[in-house]
Structure formats: structure tokens, C-alpha cells
Amino acid sequence: VSAERGGYPHFMLKEVHEQPKAVRNTLRGRVADDFSSVNLGEINLDDDFMKAVDRIHIVACGTSWHAGLVGKAVIEEYARVPVDVEIASEYRYRKPLFTPNTLVIVISQSGETADTLAALREVKKQGRRVLAITNVVGSSAAREADDVIITWAGPEIAVASTKAYTTQLAALYLLGIRLAHVRGTMDDARASEMIHALDDLPQVLEQVLDTAPQLESFAQRYVEATDTFFIGRGLDYSVALEGALKLKEISYIHAEAYAAGELKHGTLALITDGVPVIALATQPELYEKTVSNIVEVKARGAFVLGMTWVGNEDLEKTVDEVIYLPKTLPALAPILAVIPLQLLAYYAAVARGNDVDKPRNLAKSVTVE
Ligand code: G6P
């Protein structure tokens, strides 16, 4: 255990535990003292442009792309602007269609990912406005974009991204609220409720970290698994994608994320006795529908680890084990729900004796195509 890892055996575990602080730093100075508004003074987007924006393209790779999926839901719900989320390596070779006031948002922890930068440059060449959400001040993305939101997660060393993702979500929530405010699509009471909940996140995230022993024990029992499935609906589906990616990246266990309602169109054929399924059920509006999908996988013999909000003991009737998340607004659940999934991937990788911080074949920053 080296000093630079702050007493943790791996950078990844250190970074997972730094998330409350990282999110606090991302929110710092950006939330008004009376919780009435969000201040993103560092971006130049003037109110007229924010009002006029008629389409947003979010462009990113890997974990940052998964953050973009949550961003789409948040921006569409609060600011009522249609959002497309695009994989940078796909977007750069298409001929994207722009509306008169399209805003392009690139998300990149490093600010140096080749495909994301190429997309940024192409879009700028076409005279479009680009906002970068990045963790690195002075990175290429930060320098070349018109506007920048820095995430302030601090250096992320482990290849598997953790605190960068949660701070990207925090930045996207802030942006969503700011846009909604300017556009008049969110009433004051709702905005203030959301800003309060954002401000509470650092302490809520501390509580989520207490789930670690439960995930460690689950990971040790499933260390021999060859296939796993992550299911959920809505925001839970976006988080499921990130959970599956984490598990693949460092434990090398095959993991697939599926929109729970889509299971019966194919993936259900792969569910057999003892297959681990991680089922996210953090969204009250979609809860009953998700439970009916969990019943379907249980009927095929799956071992189900469910995740829901504290107090919702109903889920125990359907699943084998439950992870409880502290209460928050449903829109903010992704930032909580991802943490047990990061811990699951971490402990599975450790149990398999893998090089957690430097998984085979992967790089921290993909600067070549
Ligand atoms: C690599 C990293 C991932 C990261 C992705 C995008 O694949 O291993 O963790 O999500 O690149 O990186 P970026 O720096 O652009 O967010």
C-alpha cells in the first residue's frame, strides 16, 4: 500500500472513495447560497443563445458517453431541448444534421481522446458552438472548445473511470438546471428542490460507500461467473450500461446491459440457472414495470441482486439480495446507483487477481484512433 494511493490498495478504490469530495468540488461556487439558482459564470453562453438552442448533440466515448446518456434525460426533462447522444467515433464520420441553433457538448475526462477531439474540430469547422465538459484544465478539449465546464474531480489514475463519471453527472445536472432556468421551463420551487438535493449529494454519497462490504461479499461468491446481465429502465438503463462496462473492463467477466423491457426480445434466451443479474429499480415511476421484468429472469433461474431506494422493502419479495440507496430525487439516482456497481467491478477484479488499475489491452486515454 503506497502513500500515493492514500492507504488504499489500488488507485481505483481510492478514487471511488474520493467521489463525495470530487462532487463537492464540482458543485463548489456553482450553487447560489439561497439554492435558487446555478452559477456557471465561466461559460460564455449568453442567455439569448441558451434560449434559442433548439437541439443539443452530446458527443463522447466510453464512460463519458454513458454520462451523456444521463445528461440527455436531464436536459430534455428540465430544459425541454431535444438531445442526441453520439459515440464520437461514429459521429465524426457521419454528416451530422444541424438545426439553426444546435449546441454541441463534448464530454471527455482527459480532454485528449482522439475521436472526441476530431469530432470537436469538425463541428467547429462547420461554425458550430462547442461546450466541453472535461476534468483537465488546459487539455486540448478545454483549449479548443468555445466554452468549458471543468469537473474538478482531481487526477484520475485508474484506467476504469469512476469519479470522473460522477462529476460529469454533477456538471450535467448543473447545466440542465441553468438551461432550464434561462428558458423558463422549470418553476422556482422545482429548481430549488433540485439544487438542494444536488447540494446534499456529497454526504449522501458517503452513505452509499457503506454498501462496500455487501458488494465485496457478492463479488467473492460470483467470481467464477462467465456472464452477467445488468437491467433497468430509463435512467437505470443508462447506469446499467456503465455498470456492465466497469465489470468488463477490470474483472474480464462478460457483462451485458439491457433495457429491462427489451429482455424478451432476445437476451432472455441467455438467462439460465444461477446467472447473476443486477437489477436497478431506483425510479418510482418505472418500478412496477421493472419488477415484472425481474420476475421474468427469476423464473429462468437467475440470481438477482436488486438495487432500490431505502424503505422500499417490497423488492425483497422478488430478488435474492437488495442494495439500498439513500433517498434522493429520482433524477439524481444515477450518481448514487453507479457507486455500488463500481465497487462490484472492483471487488470482482480483486477476487480474480487482476491488475485492477491497469487492465489488459486498455489505456487511460485513447489518443490515437
Ligand atoms: C478510455 C478510458 C475510459 C474513458 C474513455 C473516454 O477508454 O479507459 O475510462 O471513459 O477512454 O475517455 P475521456 O478522457 O474522453 O473521457
At residue 159, the pLDDT reads 96
Question: Which is higher by pLDDT, 369 or 281?
Answer: 281
Residues identified as active-site: 364
Contact 172, 67 (CB under 8 A): yes
Pocket of ligand 1 (CB under 6 A): 61-64, 108-110, 113, 116, 159, 161, 362, 364-366
CA 257, chain centre distance (Å): 14
At residue 105, the pLDDT reads 98
At residue 357, the pLDDT reads 97
Whole-number mean pLDDT of the chain? 96
pLDDT at 358 over 80: yes
- Cα 52 to middle of ligand 1, angstroms: 31
Average pLDDT of the residues in 137-145: 97
Rg of the chain over CA atoms, in angstroms?
20
pLDDT at 317 over 70: yes
Average pLDDT of the residues in 315-337: 97
16, 59, 61: residue to mutate for ligand 1 pocket, most atoms within 8 A of CB? 61
At residue 74, the pLDDT reads 97
Contacts of 254 (CB under 8 A, 6+ apart): 226, 227, 228, 248
Atom of ligand 1 nearest to the CA of 159: 8
- Cα 359 to middle of ligand 1, angstroms: 13
- Cα 70 to middle of ligand 1, angstroms: 17
At residue 161, the pLDDT reads 98
Residues above pLDDT 70, as percent of the chain: 99
In this structure, which residue's CA is closest to atom 8 in ligand 1?
Answer: 364
Contacts of 354 (CB under 8 A, 6+ apart): 250, 251, 252, 360
- Cα 188 to middle of ligand 1, angstroms: 36
CA neighbor of 29 nearest in space, from 180, 194, 152: 152
ipTM: 0.98
At residue 1, the pLDDT reads 56
- 217 phi, psi to nearest 5 deg: -65, -40
Residues above pLDDT 90, as percent of the chain: 96
pLDDT at 184 over 70: yes
Owner of C-alpha cell 430525487: 329
100-130: pLDDT as tens digits: 999 999 999 999 999 999 999 999 999 999 9
Atom of ligand 1 nearest to the CA of 62: 10
pLDDT at 217 over 70: yes
